[in-house]
Structures are given as C-alpha cells and as structure tokens.
Amino acid sequence: MTNLPDRADSPNPPEMRASDTDRDRVAQILRDAAGDGRLTLEELDERLDLVYAAKTYADLEPVTRDLPAAGSPGPSVPVTGRAPGFAPVPDAPSWKSGVAVMAEFKRQGVWNVPAVFTAFAFWGGGKIDLREARFSENEVRIRAFAVMGGIDVIAPEDLTVHVTGIGIMGGFEHDASGPGAAGAPRVIVSGFSFWGGVSVKRKARREEKRLRREQRRREELE
C-alpha cells in the first residue's frame, strides 16, 4: 500500500485500524510534499483533516496516492541541507525579528524561520510559535531578550530544542530542552531575561491535537 506499512501477516491490510504513529507518518509525507511545491497550503490543510480523521489504512491510502513514497525524491531534486518534514514553503511569510515595547508581537502559523531570529520585549510580550513553522536551515538560533516583559517560545514535540539563556532577577525556562525526531531541525534558544521571563515549552500541533480529540470522541460513541 502506498506510503503505509506492509503487513504480510495480515490477510486484509487495508481494513486494519491505523495508529497515531501511522497518521503522523502520513502527515509528515504531506508536509514534505508541501515543502517541495507539490501541494498548496490549502491542499495541505484539507489533506491533514482527512489524515487525522482516518480510522484504517484504507482511509489513509488515497490521501498520498498521487505523492512519492516516504524517502523517495520523485521527479524533483531535493534541496541540500533541508531537514525532512520541515522544508520551507515558498509563499509563507518570514520574519527575522520581533519587537514589543509596551506592546506585543506574534510569530505563528505557517512561516519560514530564518537562521537567526531576534526577539526583544520591554514592558510588553512576544509569542514565537514554531508548531507549524518551516526551516531553511538544520540549525536555528532564537535570541530572546526580555526586560520587564515576557517572551513565549512554543515548539512542537518532534523538534530538537536546546535552551541556553539565563535569567537575571527573572526566569528563563530550560525544561523544554531535549531531542526531537530523527532529522528534525535543532533550535537553540539563547539570550536573557531581566525582571521578566522567557518561557520555552513543547506542545502538540494544535490541529493535530484537535483532530485526535475529535477522533477519540467519535470512537467512544461507536
């Protein structure tokens, strides 16, 4: 079956129930395809809805039928140095910085993260959400400086994170540091907080979390 695990010991693989791991694997293929230009952002969203609503392999198979299998470059040439599943999207926005002076800034949704992103908050707040972000480099540095303000960095569970910042009469959270999925980009969060705080947390992607919750609810009603 295209892009899905083979089960030679099963007489009818398409009817087998799909696991969360199977859904995540197919979702990764879709994100790769969007990064390669095979899918638009609208098509990516539509297919991700189908993936996380799928119950069996048969439900998953049509979603990637017109795409190359995982690990196959297809007719296009891979971009050197780009991490699988996190490739940049050509028409997505990109920012190199975020500044909040008695105000706030937000960097979230689908956006292309540069090699270095600088954030500064003074009597204000900033939010850097990497859950749907894409990366042109395998290593990205986020420089966060909070002075009597706060900056929140949110990373997906499959991203490699290393926090090195320090807090001076403030807080700089290091709990999110840890490895991610194989081949995932590495994000280094550095900087300092003074009478403020920099929060770095890991969270599941919002759409995946919502669709999984809806799926479990439907299964409970059956």
* Distance in angstroms (rounded) separating the CA atoms of residues 105 and 145: 13
Question: At residue 165, what are phi and psi to the nearest 5 degrees?
Answer: -70, 165
Find the largest Cα–Cα distance for the chain.
Answer: 64
Q: Which pLDDT value is given to residue 2?
A: 47
Read off the pTM: 0.60
The helix or strand, by DSSP H or E, that contains position 217, with its residue range, turns out to be helix 206-221
Angle between the N-to-C axes of helices 206-221 and 20-35, in degrees from 0 to 180, rounded to the nearest 10: 140
Helix (H, G, I), strand (E, B) or coil at 159: coil
Q: Which pLDDT value is given to residue 126?
A: 96
Residue ranges covered by each domain of the chain: 13-78, 97-202
Per-residue pLDDT tens digits of the chain, which is 222 residues long = 445 544 434 444 667 888 777 787 788 788 777 766 777 777 887 888 888 888 888 888 888 888 875 544 443 333 334 455 688 888 889 999 999 999 999 999 899 999 999 999 999 999 999 999 999 888 999 999 999 999 999 999 888 899 999 999 889 998 888 888 777 889 999 999 999 999 999 988 776 677 777 777 777 776
